[in-house]
């Protein structure tokens, strides 16, 4: 593992961004499993960083909807966290599992079960949170290689 030069966070070979400070990193690997990480100078990065935008556009497994949302999130320096996501609202933890967001799915199931014993209305809070934050959760997993709960 290598460390982020900006904050000292442990980086994996698959990381595109530092999980702690968000600094964009370039990873180059070899067949023997060794890798080196070059951290881009954050002062040269701006909201129009075309390399990351091009990388998002080249993710053919993403639908155009998610590509567009991820670019908006990236270009806003993550101040925009995505628009309302009806699929994540309606299917919550099940949607999260399909998107590879296992941590959010587990927490969503547990909290919904616990709140469901108190009131059905409180359990609906989980669905609303998934609807509001679904796109950002998925962005964090795909672009930053990071699982977050909320």
Read off the pLDDT of residues 84-135 as tens digits, 9 standing for 90 and up.
999 999 999 999 999 999 999 999 889 888 887 788 777 788 899 999 999 9
Statement to judge: residues 2 and 63 lie in one domain: no
Same domain? 74 vs 124: yes
Q: Which residue has the higher pLDDT, 47 or 79?
A: 79
Q: Are residues 14 and 79 in the same domain?
A: no
Q: Work out whether the CA dihedral 27, 29, 34, 38 comes out positive or negative.
A: negative
> Does residue 3 sit in the same domain as residue 27?
yes
Q: What is the pTM of this model?
A: 0.65
From residue 70, how far is each of 4, 38, 55, 126 by CA, in Å?
23, 23, 11, 22
Phi-psi category of residue 16: left, alpha or beta, with phi > 0 → left and psi -120 to 50 → alpha: alpha
- What is the extent of the structural domain holding 54? 46-150
């Amino acid at each position: 593992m290598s460390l982020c030069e900006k904050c000292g966070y442990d980086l994996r070979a698959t990381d595109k961004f530092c999980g702690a400070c968000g600094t964009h990193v370039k990873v180059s690997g070899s067949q023997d499993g060794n890798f080196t990480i070059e951290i881009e100078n954050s002062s040269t990065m701006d909201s129009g960083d075309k390399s990351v935008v091009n990388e998002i556009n080249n993710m053919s497994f993403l639908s155009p909807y998610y590509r567009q949302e991820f670019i908006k999130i990236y270009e806003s320096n993550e101040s925009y966290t995505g628009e309302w996501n009806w699929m994540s609202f309606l299917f919550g933890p099940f949607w999260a599992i399909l998107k590879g967001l296992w941590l959010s799915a587990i927490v969503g199931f547990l909290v919904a079960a616990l709140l469901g014993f108190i009131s059905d209305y409180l359990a609906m809070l989980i669905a609303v949170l998934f609807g509001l934050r679904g796109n950002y959760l998925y962005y964090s997993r795909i672009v930053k290689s990071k699982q977050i709960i909320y």
